[in-house]
Amino acid sequence: KKEHHTDQYNSDQLIIRRGQTFQIELDLSRPFNPNTDKLHLEMKTGELANTMGMTHIIIPLVDELQDESWEAKIVEQNVNRVKLSVNSPVTAVIGKYKLTITTQCLKTGETTTHDHDKDIYMLFNPWCEDDTVYMEGEKELKEYVLNDTGRIYYGTEKQIGARTWNFGQFDEGILEACLFVLDNSEVPPSGRGDPVNVVRVISAMINSPDDLGVLEGNWSGNYAGGTSPTAWSGSVEILRQYHREGGKPVKYGQCWVFSGVTTTVLRCLGIPTRSVTNFQSAHDTDVSLTTDVYFDENMEPIHHLNSDSVWNFHVWNDCWMARPDMPPGMGGWQAVDSTPQETSHGTFRCGPASLAAIRSGQVYLKFDTPFVFAEVNSDKIYWQRNLDGTFGQIHSEKKAVGHCISTKAVGSDERVDITHLYKYPEGSEEERIAVETACRYGSKPDVYSSPIAEDVRVEVMMEGEGPRMGGDAQLKIVVKNTSSQPRRTTLHSQVAVMYYTGVLKDTVKKDTLNVELNPQEGARLPYTQYQNQLVDQAALMLTLSGRVSETQQVLANQTSFRLRTPDLNIEPMGEAYVGKEMSAKITFTNPLPCTLRNVVIRVEGLGLRDLHPIRVGDVSKHANVTVTEHFIPTIAGKRKLVASLDCRQLTQVHGVADIDVHESQ
């Protein structure tokens, strides 16, 4: 297992990686004589194993092992014991195999078969140069295949939040659960040698709308009958429950949960994977490859047409593989999205889409490249309805979408910005060419024909890290006149509470500002106006629109901001040893001027303790809470204890503590 990098799996089964030799020892009833005895192995995976689909393999004995095929060689013989070295090809189907050994005596023709009672698990091999998932660099492999914890980013681009996630791909029963997910799909085992295919299947099977996959999505704010998406802090319990209940979707997930579970499953199967967050993430519903905002004749938004949305943030995955099915240069990181947004060939799935293709606007390359391109690099086009019912383009924002694309750094808990892998620098000639190339393949190919002169700019500034939950939001609207003439405009502003998906819930404040262009006006929002309206992600959207009197130039801007939530503080008490009980103190202060009802703190840590909910009950306004959690560490090394708070009025409150567990004394 050490040689195959599978020693971390909490299982006593043989777990091996394809394209690499492994050893089997056989105890025979008498010494084996190669001149008078024959011996071969058979391995089968799936219900209907057959030799054509590479799911029923007959492994012959050979004198010398050649690469690239199934074969076995005797490397040691000691009386009745024979040691075999077995080779598998780098294209082998991954999954669970049954092993049968057949011996035959040439003199008597007698044949004996022995069915081995334990299964053999075959995984992808990113350490093997000829495997399509091969990744160079030990540090990268340690992070993207072997790290069982990570960080997932959320919030808004100016206020990026991070939460620790327990991937737990080596935990007991997780490999079984991941293969159960594959078995539940309609893809036969013969298709499981190709990582492109496996990733596409997993992307469909992590969500549940059309195939009873792992997680049921819920963005309604009502999570009765399930777990609130913000309350999860790991994938282990989700996958165990799905497996235990025979494939019943687990309630509930949102994008970071879908992504966290996808990272677990793909790392578990041996595909290098990371969770990635895109801020200001567009959702293009009509394949125009632009994000369209429609206004009527009076500059009021036309809600039923505004189906394209920009999510504050959206979390998906990158996984690493060669793409022999594509033109050269398209291998490497591939975007995969398991959140059910749009169907791809009739199923809710997305990817793998090559980052190289997304970056250059080659949206005709498979799979689902146009959708991911629009998420990270579509232009936001504002349209106004004319009196005859047609629409004219009045404004475009070229940098509105796809900011601060983030993932956890290799080897540390730092955030690393990978926007440059998804697109050229904003405004560069290469980036404009990519956008215009992509749009030529969209449903509105003529968008880029009418530039308009613009000499007034409007932007929204936020002080420092932005407002905290329970405090006022201080925003400054800055209007700049870059021409040499005076300018006058009337700015319409509205503030709405928003789900992180970009869907607006309620408008809480409307204003009209007459601006004689000596700008620098500020708008202040007292907390009381929207405390009852806040939803899971505590986000607000400020929309500005107006027209400059002198030039008829249209001003338009949308800015989202979130109210930052407090942390759970976790303080480990004393030294940690395997098998010895220890405790941790968890403290929290309610930031709100109201009582939190039915508060539950959920605690878990890989190698420390399984998921454990602590019922705290009601917490009065601005009150402090302290709970002590007792547990017994089971695995030595650096571990993370993660806690998250779950209650109706306050979500996205979590904390993490690093605990160094020593071997037992």
Known catalytic membership, residue 337 = yes
Tell me the CA distances in angstroms from 547 to 295, 477, 496, 556, one per residue in order. Answer: 13, 16, 21, 9
Residue type, 178: C
**Residue 581 assigned ligand-binding role:** no
Written as six digits, the tokens of 516 are 């004689």
Written as six digits, the tokens of 334 are 């591939």
Written as six digits, the tokens of 608 are 């420390």
* Torsion angle, alpha carbons of 21, 22, 28, 30, to 10: 40
- The Cα–Cα gap between 600 and 641 comes to 16
Q: Indicate the pairing of strand 653-662 with strand 576-577.
A: parallel
> Among 34, 163, 52, 155, which residue's Cα sits nearest to residue 104?
34
SS (H, E, C) 217-256: ECCCCCCCCCCCHHHCCECHHHHHHHHHCCCCCEEEECHH
- The Cα–Cα gap between 426 and 430 comes to 9
- The Cα–Cα gap between 560 and 551 comes to 28
Residue type, 123: L
- The Cα–Cα gap between 158 and 562 comes to 9
**Residue 397 assigned ligand-binding role:** no
- The Cα–Cα gap between 373 and 365 comes to 11
**Residue 176 assigned ligand-binding role:** no
Per the CB < 8 A criterion, the answer to whether 419 and 404 are in contact is: yes
Known catalytic membership, residue 319 = no
Written as six digits, the tokens of 267 are 């790392």
Return the biggest CA–CA distance within the chain. 106
Known catalytic membership, residue 63 = no
For 550, residues 6+ apart whose C-beta sits below 8 A from its C-beta are 485, 486, 487, 488
**Residue 431 assigned ligand-binding role:** yes
Given 178, 255, 319, 404, the catalytic residue? 255
- The Cα–Cα gap between 478 and 337 comes to 37
State residue 138 phi and psi, 5-degree precision: -60, -40
- The Cα–Cα gap between 174 and 642 comes to 19
- The Cα–Cα gap between 481 and 486 comes to 8
H or E element at residue 661: strand 653-662
**Binding-site entries for Ca(2+):** 377, 379, 426, 431
**Binding-site entries:** 377, 379, 426, 431
Q: Which residues are designated catalytic?
A: 255, 314, 337
